[in-house]
């Protein structure tokens, strides 16, 4: 009798998970509204139905200004979504030239069995971007590139996703000079009249950054080595395996792969595109660097260091046209490749907007403010040994509602900073409690558009990501709790 083949259970789609979460949080707001006597506003049917739309456009001005705390409202994701669509067109044109597929194949061929070395190198680079300037939403383009590279190297799309998400994520978790996390938190404390020692913050951030990044690299490399040895050991479902094979698998034999002169030129332009993008998002003036002022504003009207998603979209659109010329594509081929590329990104766009809409719904109900105020009152008078981990766990909860690091700093630091100071605890450690907890949550929260969008373009379902990363998250949580608790007790 033939033995039945055991099929892996297909995970729930990322879009479905976000819809379920939207409904669940709305129900929680109804319960909280009844329990608090109106401090929390129950989500109405119109709130639920309009929140995905506001995820694109942002909540109307009258709703934001009429809220108890306007700072909790995130902006709309329209600029991010437009950037992702343009990026899809850029990648579509690049793929049409054949340069990207052949370039990856040539890279893998040259590594000759040393493919694992890519993982620590790339994760360290991404983590540097995270700790210095909060590299997050701009990592979305790298998911599809790394998924394709790691698949060609004998791994799977999960390895490519993990390299980007954990690399940049652990950097943000251990922010040292990240202006959107520690910078925003310190600014809030200074405005409240509290002096802060930046040296202590950088030292604590470096400890968190290095320790969590090192553990994550080991975790990813162990899994990658297992998949390299046996493709059947992948955690991906059959549906995900078919998707990665269809999107990233090529039939070309490595020994037959060669790059033409046009393809080499296209790859050079491709590399320049991403290097400039990374440089453009780093807030150079915050670090006292003024080398890009003036001359670099020619393309978009803003100098490198002041770009955001509109400027980045403009840059990738221009580079798509240049790659088409260098790669020898006709006008018809270029237009079709660009449109097909943008179409491939529509599911990602919907996921990003829906994730942002959930955050807007929570801001409308006021749940984050209610949790923060009640928790801070409960922490009055406790010892440092209890205060540090309790504060970290509080920030974990709040970061689900407000995934934005700058938004969280603006809302919470005027409350938690003075509370720590009044209790005689280190405000510098409080800054790192906020930063590490917020960064930790942004390794897996479905309300982060960068995570959901990045996993979508890599064809990795959110449920699969949680299943794979669960053990590592537990380890990282323990590392963070130990470091911030020890720091709070000795500083």
Lowest mean pLDDT among 103-117, 294-308, 427-441: 103-117
For CA atoms 442, 444, 447, 450, give the dihedral sign.
positive
Dist. CA 454–CA 142, nearest whole Å: 8
User: Hey, what's the torsion of the CAs at 446, 449, 455, 460, to 10 degrees?
Assistant: 40
Total domains in the fold of the chain: 1
Q: What is the pLDDT of residue 257?
A: 66
Measured CA to CA, the distance from residue 261 to residue 344 in angstroms comes to 28
d(C-alpha 408, C-alpha 184), whole Å: 9
- For 224, left (φ over 0), alpha (ψ -120 to 50), or beta? alpha
pLDDT score for 251:
52
Chain-wide mean pLDDT for the chain?
87
Q: In the block, which residue shows the tokens 């129900």?
A: 27
**pLDDT band, residue 364 (cuts 50/70/90):** confident
Residue 38 located in a structural domain: no
> What percentage of residues in the chain have a pLDDT greater than 90?
44
Q: Is 126 left (phi over 0), alpha (psi -120 to 50) or beta?
A: alpha
Average pLDDT over every residue of 137-156? 87
The per-residue pLDDT for range 77-109, each reduced to its tens digit, is 888 888 889 988 998 999 899 888 788 778 877
Whether residue 45 lies inside any domain: the answer is no
Q: For the chain, how far is it from start to end, CA to CA, in angstroms?
A: 69
- In this prediction, residues 232-258 reach a mean pLDDT of 79
User: In the prediction, which pLDDT does 2 show?
Assistant: 43
Cα gap 444→440, rounded to integer Å: 8
Among 93-97, 251-255, 307-311, 468-472, whose mean pLDDT is lowest? Answer: 251-255
Q: How many angstroms separate the most distant Cα atoms in the chain?
A: 78
Residue 198, judged by CB atoms within 10 A of its CB (0-12, 13-18, 19+), counts as middle
pLDDT at 284: 83
Give the residue with greater pLDDT, 111 vs 123: 123
Q: Is residue 50 part of a domain?
A: no
- For helices 427-441 and 184-191, the axis angle rounded to 10 degrees is 140
Is the model's pLDDT at 3 over the cut of 50? no
Give just the sign of the alpha carbon dihedral 416, 421, 425, 428.
Answer: positive
Q: Which of 181, 183, 162, 161 is nearest to 172 (CA)?
A: 181
pLDDT at 6 over 50: no
Cβ-Cβ contacts under 8 Å for 183 (sequence gap 6 or more): 177, 286
User: Which of 253-257, 371-375, 414-418 is predicted with the least confidence, judged by mean pLDDT?
Assistant: 253-257
Query: Which residues does 227 contact at the CB level (< 8 Å), separation at least 6?
Result: 154, 155, 156, 158, 159, 233, 234
Residue 253 predicted with pLDDT over 70: no
Distance between CA atoms of 73 and 365, rounded to whole angstroms? 11
5: pLDDT strictly greater than 50 = no
State the residue range of the domain holding 424. Answer: 76-490
pLDDT confidence bin for 255, thresholds 50/70/90: low
Query: Could you tell me if residue 11 is inside a domain?
Result: no
Mean of the pLDDT values across residues 240-254?
76
pLDDT score of 129 more than 50: yes
């Amino acid at each position: 009798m033939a033995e039945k083949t055991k099929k892996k259970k297909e995970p729930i789609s990322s879009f479905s998970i976000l819809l379920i979460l939207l409904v669940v949080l709305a129900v929680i707001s109804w319960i909280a509204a009844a329990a608090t006597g109106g401090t929390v506003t129950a989500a109405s049917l119109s709130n639920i139905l309009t929140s995905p739309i506001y995820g694109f456009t942002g909540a109307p001005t009258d709703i934001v200004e009429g809220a108890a705390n306007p700072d909790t409202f995130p902006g709309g994701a329209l600029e991010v979504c437009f950037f992702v669509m343009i990026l899809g067109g850029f990648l579509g044109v690049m793929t049409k030239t054949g340069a990207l597929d052949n370039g990856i194949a040539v890279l893998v061929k040259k590594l000759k069995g040393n493919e694992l070395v890519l993982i620590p190198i790339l994760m360290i680079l991404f983590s540097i971007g995270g700790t210095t300037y909060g590299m997050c939403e701009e990592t979305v383009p790298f998911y599809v590139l790394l998924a394709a590279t790691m698949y060609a190297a004998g791994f799977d799309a999960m390895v490519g996703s993990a390299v980007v998400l954990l690399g940049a994520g652990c950097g943000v978790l251990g922010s040292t000079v990240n202006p959107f996390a520690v910078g925003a938190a310190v600014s809030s404390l200074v405005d409240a009249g509290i002096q802060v020692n930046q040296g202590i913050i950088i030292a604590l951030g470096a400890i968190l950054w290095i320790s969590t990044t090192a553990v994550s690299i080991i975790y990813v490399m162990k899994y990658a080595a297992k998949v390299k040895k046996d493709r059947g050991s992948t955690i991906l479902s059959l549906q995900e395996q078919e998707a990665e094979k269809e999107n990233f698998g090529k039939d070309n034999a490595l020994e037959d792969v060669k790059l033409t002169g046009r393809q080499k030129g296209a790859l050079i332009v491709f590399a320049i595109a991403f290097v400039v993008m990374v440089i453009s998002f780093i807030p150079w003036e915050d670090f006292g660097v003024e080398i890009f002022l003036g001359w670099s504003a020619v393309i978009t009207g803003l100098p490198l260091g002041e770009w955001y998603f509109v400027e980045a979209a403009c840059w990738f659109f221009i580079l798509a046209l240049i790659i088409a010329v260098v790669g020898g594509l006709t006008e018809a081929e270029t237009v079709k490749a660009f449109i097909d590329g943008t179409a491939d990104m529509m599911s990602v766009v919907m996921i990003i907007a829906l994730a942002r809409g959930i955050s807007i719904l929570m801001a409308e109900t006021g749940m984050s403010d209610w949790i923060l105020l009640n928790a801070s009152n409960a922490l009055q008078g406790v010892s440092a040994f209890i205060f540090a981990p309790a504060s970290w766990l509080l920030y974990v909860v709040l970061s689900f509602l407000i995934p934005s690091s700058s938004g969280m700093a603006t809302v919470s630091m005027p409350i938690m900073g003075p509370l720590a100071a009044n209790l005689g605890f280190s405000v510098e450690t409080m800054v790192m409690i906020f930063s590490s907890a917020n960064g930790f949550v942004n390794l897996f929260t479905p309300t982060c558009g960068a995570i959901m969008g990045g996993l979508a373009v890599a064809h990795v379902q959110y449920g699969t990501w949680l299943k794979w990363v669960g053990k590592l998250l537990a380890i990282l949580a323990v590392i963070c709790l130990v470091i911030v608790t020890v720091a709070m007790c000795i500083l």
